[in-house]
Structure 1
Amino acid sequence: MSFKVLLILLISTVSFAQNSEFPSAKVDSIVKSIQLPIIPSYQINILKLGAKGDSISNNKSVFDKAMALCRKNNGGTIVVPKGIYKINGPIHFVSNVNLKIEKGAKIKFSDNPKDYLPMVLTSWEGTMLYNYSPLIYAYECSNIAITGEGTIDGEGGNIWKSFKSKEEAGKNRSREMNHNNVALKDRKFGESCFLRPQMIQFFNCKNLLIENIRIENSPFWCLHLLKSQSITIRGINYKSLNYNNDGIDPEYSKNVLIENVTFNNGDDNIAVKAGRDHEGRANTTTPSENIIIRNCNFKGLHGVVIGSEMSAGVQNVFVENCKTIGYLKRGIYLKTNADRGGFIKNIFVRNIQLDEVEDCIYITANYHGEGSGFQSDISNVHFSDIVCNKASESGIVIQGFPNKKIRNISLKNIEIKSAKNALSNENAENVLMTDVFIGKKASVPTAAK
């Protein structure tokens, strides 16, 4: 090797090491750019409109009327006082509204699927289509909030839960429509298709705040941030253990702050997504980006996930100062496959404390071994200051393809105290490890006898 080539390699390595440092200034800049909603002073207490918090009476018309009054007054706050308010159907937001659910108040949705018709434009696992309305739905709204210390109960554990075993045909049809570029107007699902609705979905919205509420018993994904921006989620907590109960799913969304959230979910705590397959790759101008996750408590299936639906790309995700408070299968999980395409890049994770997991850090370009022809590009992923007490399977897994290697991965100050399998590093290049310990730390070598 010539001196010139050696010098270039040395400079490149030093530059990569410097670029792997957690970019706090970039995080601060994103946080400053996020706008909180501006809500007019008008307020309406639902009791004044005849609501009954007796857990039996249907308050659907009351909430519709409250939202209509807010529209008439160019926005305002809908106050939900202490009580259990049954609603047989969805809440559809208008702009400039704060739904304030006070301490001791619970909104309890019906679980009759017919209550969530007519269908609305939505998305299901990365494919745009018409389906049951999400239980709380906002489309093309700005300046909206859900606040207070009350609870939203999606009643997802009975009828909706039974849909899981019946969804295969509808799910496959949605994916065929995605792959065949079927016109959106012809993607009609709803009755007899068994695709469960999200509990809360903000679609094409901006300046959003979700703060301090409790989310329970969702039919499907809990909080879906679809094609939205300038979002603050803080102080909320979960107990939602049904099938596919992801906690927070940003999809095609940007400038998102998620902080001080306590998760307890039947699936991923946070899953950053960006569309599926052909449809996702056609939307590369709207990747999911500038997402900050900090000071959160993880409990559920996986902590922070990117993918697997990420075909429009995911970039600039910053995770810091988080820990587990219970079981977690995987801590940080980046997953895609050869159906997806797109990219995952500029991911920074630091100061994470994990107790017992199956796998601590897992990066795979071959999720479920599915697909062909559209391998994803994974690069510039940085982990630092991570402690894990035990990995019952693998400490660190990196899986690329021979002809599409994962590139530029740095791991610094990683301590996994116990792991069945320490490290699997396959089809990756420029993987830099600094002070990485898996299992018992080695001391000085013993003397020969």
Structure 2
Amino acid sequence: MKSSILLALCLSSLFAYTSIAQKKEMSRTEKRDAILKNIVPPKISKNTLILTDFGAVGDSATDAKPAFDKALRVCKEKKGGKIVVPAGVYIVNGPIHLVSNSSLEIQRGAKLIFGTNPSDYLPVVPTSWEGTFINSYSPLIYAYHVENVAITGEGIIDGNGKEGFAKWYDKQKPAQELSRKMNHEGVPVKDRVFGDGSFLRPQLIQFFECKNILIEGVTVANSPFWCVHFLKSENITARKVKFDAFNKNNDGFDPEYSRNVLIEDIDFNNADDNVAVKAGRDHEGRKTAITSENIIIRNCRFKGLHGVVIGSEISAGVRNVFVENCTYGGYCKRGIYLKSNPDRGGFIRDIYVNDVTFGEVEDAIFITSFYHGEGKGFETDIRNVFFENLTFKAATHAGLVIQGYPTKKVRNIHFSNVRIDSCPTAMSFTNAEGIVFNDVVLGKEVTEPSAVK
């Protein structure tokens, strides 16, 4: 009887220990590697279609839109196809709507230039604008409810924004405010129609509710609005893309309500954020409740307004973002920027930034719960953010900034081996708690103390 009791106690202890071990939190690298296993680029169809066989002429004059439409119909009929765009300059007067199992290979020496007549991008399609779902002008390259799609090659995709849609920036405010009002009031999306006269600029490339996406090698230039928008999509690989985009709001990549995203080996050169992770705006974002998560950004070269941004459209929450082994290709105003305000709600947590180098910036690391100093009622929970092995040559304004909210402080932020060679304001922390430092030098490192004279 005693031996049975002893055996039962031993087994009970063993099961308890196993349970504790199983619950042990994975390390950063274990989390990252588990995510990477779920990101697999789509297989590209071997059914090759040459765009010029469908009537396209790369003479910078002939409209290639009909040729793309014909080729994509064949892709749909044959349940797959790779459309090859050979060298030449192709005018495209209207959007390219990708279908499942289709890909574009824009070869070296090929350039797509989109036309500037707004009516060519109607009728309206389901899309999103600054975190609010609407029906509006079609993005220039658009994939909706499709899977296994790719854009590859060494050619150029030119949105021609400077000569077209980008001019709408100064006219957009009435429609922008109306979209936000509809968001807050819960107006059905089908009734949010922003077509002729609305002046909301379309994205250059948008994948909306898509699975298994690859964008590789191409140069993305001169976008009307955001450059590449991953919206409610998953299993995304973006690699070796180059950006040359200087119009207003020319973000590089905007993953929103999206998961399992790998962004690697990118040359950014944007007038706005290089990568901006988003999760919907205000009432609609909280209602949609699709977290942006499992996003890996590595081996990139940042240049533009900000390197990596999370927010400010953050209402469904963002977690598990990894920024690794990145450097800079030029000036950035801010290196790492986490931003929200009390209109948003949601959360930012489990963010890992490792082995990243910047040159001169205005602010090195900036975390704020009060972006633009506005909002109330829906504070964002920002916590569990880890910075390790970061260097900056100079921060001309501030080194480390944390601005929490009185009723929801920013907490559990770790800085390990962070160095900023020069900064007039080393730290500015308000409404923050649980801040941990390990080997942090802000400004000139102090070495041996001077001797008494």
TM-score range, shorter chain: over 0.9
Cα deviation, 1:104-145, whole Å, max 9, x if unaligned, reads 001110011111000000000000000000000000100000
- Per the alignment, residue 402 of structure 2 pairs with 398
Question: CA–CA distance in 2 between the matches of 1:180 and 1:236?
Answer: 39
Contact 1:227 1:251 (8 Å CA) reproduced:
yes
Confirm or deny that 1:407 pairs with 2:420: no
- Per the alignment, residue 9 of structure 1 pairs with none
Contact 1:40 1:74 (8 Å CA) reproduced:
no
Structure 1 residue matching 2:76: 3-state secondary structure: helix
Question: CA–CA distance in 1 between the matches of 2:130 and 2:66?
Answer: 31
Question: CA–CA distance in 1 between the matches of 2:33 and 2:102?
Answer: 27
Return the offset for 1:34.
Answer: 1.1
Question: CA–CA distance in 2 between the matches of 1:48 and 1:22?
Answer: 53
Question: CA–CA distance in 2 between the matches of 1:23 and 1:400?
Answer: 25
Cα deviation, 1:241-298, whole Å, max 9, x if unaligned, reads 00000000000000000000000001000000000000000122x1000000000000
- Per the alignment, residue 92 of structure 2 pairs with 87
Question: CA–CA distance in 2 between the matches of 1:238 and 1:290?
Answer: 23
Larger radius of gyration: 2
Contact 1:167 1:193 (8 Å CA) reproduced:
yes
- Per the alignment, residue 437 of structure 1 pairs with 441
Matched residue count: 430
Question: CA–CA distance in 2 between the matches of 1:38 and 1:350?
Answer: 31
- Per the alignment, residue 303 of structure 2 pairs with 299
Structure 2 residue matching 1:172: 3-state secondary structure: helix
Q: Which amino acid aligns with 1:328?
A: C
- Per the alignment, residue 106 of structure 1 pairs with 111
Contact 1:153 1:216 (8 Å CA) reproduced:
yes
- Per the alignment, residue 355 of structure 1 pairs with 359
Of 164, 180, 184, 2:185 maps to 180
Contact 1:80 1:102 (8 Å CA) reproduced:
yes
- Per the alignment, residue 314 of structure 2 pairs with 310
Please, what TM-score do these two structures have when normalized by structure 1? 0.94
Alignment of 1:30-49 (within 5 A): 30-49=35-54
Contact 1:416 1:437 (8 Å CA) reproduced:
yes
Question: CA–CA distance in 2 between the matches of 1:67 and 1:42?
Answer: 12
Alignment of 1:126-137 (within 5 A): 126-137=131-142
The share of aligned pairs that are identical, in percent, is 56
Q: Which amino acid aligns with 2:260?
A: N
Question: CA–CA distance in 1 between the matches of 2:327 and 2:67?
Answer: 41
Structure 1 residue matching 2:425: 3-state secondary structure: strand
Return the offset for 1:35.
Answer: 2.2
- Per the alignment, residue 5 of structure 1 pairs with none
Confirm or deny that 1:150 pairs with 2:180: no
Return the offset for 1:398.
Answer: 0.6
Question: CA–CA distance in 1 between the matches of 2:96 and 2:57?
Answer: 16
- Per the alignment, residue 4 of structure 1 pairs with none
Question: CA–CA distance in 2 between the matches of 1:46 and 1:155?
Answer: 21
Q: RMSD of the alignment, in Å?
A: 1.1
- Per the alignment, residue 225 of structure 1 pairs with 230
Question: CA–CA distance in 2 between the matches of 1:104 and 1:131?
Answer: 32
Of 257, 262, 280, 1:257 maps to 262
Alignment of 1:55-94 (within 5 A): 55-94=60-99
Question: CA–CA distance in 1 between the matches of 2:389 and 2:412?
Answer: 18
Question: CA–CA distance in 2 between the matches of 1:158 and 1:370?
Answer: 34
Question: CA–CA distance in 1 between the matches of 2:381 and 2:230?
Answer: 24
Question: CA–CA distance in 2 between the matches of 1:327 and 1:158?
Answer: 26
Q: Which amino acid aligns with 1:159?
A: G
Question: CA–CA distance in 2 between the matches of 1:128 and 1:225?
Answer: 13
Confirm or deny that 1:201 pairs with 2:206: yes
- Per the alignment, residue 13 of structure 1 pairs with none
- Per the alignment, residue 270 of structure 1 pairs with 275
Q: Which amino acid aligns with 2:197?
A: S
Cα deviation, 1:158-177, whole Å, max 9, x if unaligned, reads 23122000111010000000
Return the offset for 1:448.
Answer: 3.1
Question: CA–CA distance in 1 between the matches of 2:329 and 2:149?
Answer: 31
Question: CA–CA distance in 2 between the matches of 1:171 and 1:251?
Answer: 19
- Per the alignment, residue 425 of structure 2 pairs with 421
Return the offset for 1:447.
Answer: 2.7
Structure 2 residue matching 1:30: 3-state secondary structure: helix
Question: CA–CA distance in 2 between the matches of 1:191 and 1:86?
Answer: 23
Return the offset for 1:22.
Answer: 6.5
Q: Which amino acid aligns with 1:93?
A: L
Q: List, as ranges, runs of 4+ consecutive aligned residues in structure 1 with deviation greater than 3 Å.
A: none
Of 159, 168, 190, 1:163 maps to 168
Q: Which amino acid aligns with 1:26?
A: K
Question: CA–CA distance in 1 between the matches of 2:170 and 2:45?
Answer: 45
Confirm or deny that 1:121 pairs with 2:129: no
Q: Where does structure 2 lack aligned partners over 5 or more consecutive residues?
A: 1-23
Question: CA–CA distance in 1 between the matches of 2:45 and 2:169?
Answer: 41
- Per the alignment, residue 289 of structure 1 pairs with 293
Q: Which amino acid aligns with 2:204?
A: M
Contact 1:22 1:348 (8 Å CA) reproduced:
no
Structure 2 residue matching 1:249: 3-state secondary structure: strand
Contact 1:153 1:215 (8 Å CA) reproduced:
yes
Q: Which amino acid aligns with 2:161?
A: G
Confirm or deny that 1:379 pairs with 2:383: yes
- Per the alignment, residue 10 of structure 1 pairs with none
Please, what TM-score do these two structures have when normalized by structure 2? 0.94
Structure 2 residue matching 1:351: 3-state secondary structure: strand
Question: CA–CA distance in 1 between the matches of 2:299 and 2:364?
Answer: 18
- Per the alignment, residue 7 of structure 1 pairs with none
Question: CA–CA distance in 2 between the matches of 1:44 and 1:272?
Answer: 35
Question: CA–CA distance in 1 between the matches of 2:447 and 2:210?
Answer: 55
Contact 1:22 1:350 (8 Å CA) reproduced:
no
